[in-house]
Structure 1
């Protein structure tokens, strides 16, 4: 008897990840390919169909795909569209749901990629057994997803949980969204890079980071430098943790979560990131919450990105039937 699976699709500005995932979260097979976001959406769909067909062929007909889950930047589950994506040059409103439904002739469920990731943590990851938590993905930007009472918080317009765009400083750094002083301009890989380069100009200490250009520097570079005791990197994490921790305290006042689960490139720094976050979150917490909120690092790796969209598909199927 063929094994029931779902197809998980994680669309990113640079890479798209696809995978066949069982109900218990086992990834039967997966593939990564370049999104080529500068080309038309129709070109992406041709490539997606080809890659999915190749993935299915490798299974020797031992599986039955029953649904598709898709996580994508700015995906709106109400409209079925990707709306105004900053890193996908496909137009202002891309009919994602209907196009994928036509391509695969299966039930399709879509969500913002960060929201899908939150469901992945709930069903398969570090948040198993939790009912109230917030995920923060510290990548190029700051992605976030909110689970409240065991369900994904979507909001009235399908765009709840944009914690990366709460304001840190009205006169602060310009954000790609058009606003000034957004949290993600400080607490993200891009944000900490900007902090590093400010510190390099202010501090005289030797640093391996002085040998890396802005465009080539990665979150992993900064994390490795910090773990090796680099003062510039350590200072950058301290500043990042102070800003992020204070805004997490604000989020606690709104949601009263059991935990925050942090993933993305900066999470590789471990305690060097967690300690300033925890110290500053506790400092700014309302007394009713002090000592009660956990901050955890996700167990998921970037190659597990398909688990979020797959969880979306499994959860949506159960709700539907």
Structure 2
């Protein structure tokens, strides 16, 4: 059996897989990120509960941030701040015993691995996964293999720069993430960041302001995708993240793309990921399996 973790800022999802990739059990718990100790206590509890009943062959982690997967270190760890720069794999092995291999990889890269092995990238040689969430991430598959980059940060698409309306340089994730969508809507209404707003409500598009904000946000997402396509030339772009399940998303992206310069030359299919909310969990399983 393989234990798989998908670590997020709000929840830690976990699952037990057989060697064929079937999920035998899965669950989630609120992420404990106050200290390194509280985080590892949560992880150890899950591992221990599975070890009581099953023989474990390996453990995989889908983790936010920039991950040195060769040495098991989160160079940048997103919301999991206590683990930044820490030898994650080594520390966990010291706690659980060095009984099986442990692997860690960026969450966008894990989503790409999931699509490569059992999703909408199975028959593709080169494709990109773009994940839309609180930020923007993703993974690049080139020649059937994961592209990590020289310093493990390939696929950080949200860090692309654009000038805002005042000419200030900002990262695209500020506008093109789902958090960016909420912020654009709040700005249009003149309400504070504390005012509750949901993407689901905006996507109803039942007012002029909602429709206008959605179109503007769709244009920003389209910019990210256009820049990816002209730089990498993938066969397809696969969209992931919770918002990817909304039936309006693809039309919001494709409409502005058709108006961008030279789109007819670079036009590339854009589809949803096959694995939605379980992409990180499934990708972490394949991370382990391919290394056993």
| 1:214-233 alignment runs, 5 A limit | 214=194, 216-223=196-203, 225-226=204-205, 229-233=206-210
Aligned counterpart, 2:219:
242
Q: Distance in 1 between matches of 2:291 and 2:217?
A: 36
**Equivalent pair of 1:10/1:71 in contact (CA under 8 Å):** yes
The 1-side partners of 2:166 and 2:144 are apart by 35
What residue is the counterpart of 2:170 in the other structure? 181
1:133 aligns with 2:151: no
Deviation (angstroms), 1:40: 1.5
- Residue 196 of structure 1 corresponds to 185
> Does structure 1 conserve the Cα–Cα contact (< 8 Å) formed by 2:230 and 2:266?
no
- 1:42 corresponds to 2:37: yes
In structure 2, the partner of 1:111 is 105
SS of the residue corresponding to residue 135 of structure 1 reads strand
Q: Distance in 2 between matches of 1:10 and 1:168?
A: 31
Correspondent of 2:24 among 28, 33, 48? 28
CA contact (8 A) 1:192 1:237 kept: yes
Give yes or no for the alignment of 1:100 onto 2:86: no
What's the TM-score, normalizing by structure 1?
A: 0.81
| Partner deviation per Cα, 1:164-223 (whole Å, 9 max, x = no partner) | 10012267799xxxxx5111111111100111122224xxxxxxxx8x975532323323
C-alpha displacement at 1:161, in angstroms?
1.2
In the other structure, the counterpart of 2:234 is 257
Would you say the 8 A contact 2:6–2:280 is kept in 1? yes
Per the TM alignment, residue 283 of structure 1 is displaced from its structure 2 partner at its CA by: 3.2
The alpha-carbon distance between structure 1 residues 183 and 6, as it changes in their structure 2 partners (threshold 3 A), is same
Where do 5+ consecutive residues of structure 1 fail to align?
Answer: 175-179, 202-209
CA contact (8 A) 2:127 2:140 kept: yes
- Quick one: structure 1 residues 193 and 287, their matched pair in 2 at CA, closer, same or farther if it must change by over 3 Å? closer
Distance change in 2, residues 1:191/1:53 (3 Å): same
The alignment yields a C-alpha RMSD, in angstroms, of 2.5
Question: Is residue 161–residue 172 contact of structure 2 (8 Å, CA) maintained in 1?
Answer: yes
> 3-state SS of the aligned residue for 2:209?
helix
Q: Is the contact between residue 30 and residue 55 of structure 1 (CA under 8 Å) also seen in structure 2?
A: no
Q: Is the alpha carbon distance of 1:55 and 1:217 closer, same or farther for their aligned partners in structure 2, counting shifts above 3 Å?
A: farther
The correspondence for 2:49, drawn from 46, 54, 59, is 54
- Cα distance in 2 for partners of 1:23, 1:140 equals 32
SS of match in other structure, 1:45: helix
1:82 has 2:74 as partner: yes
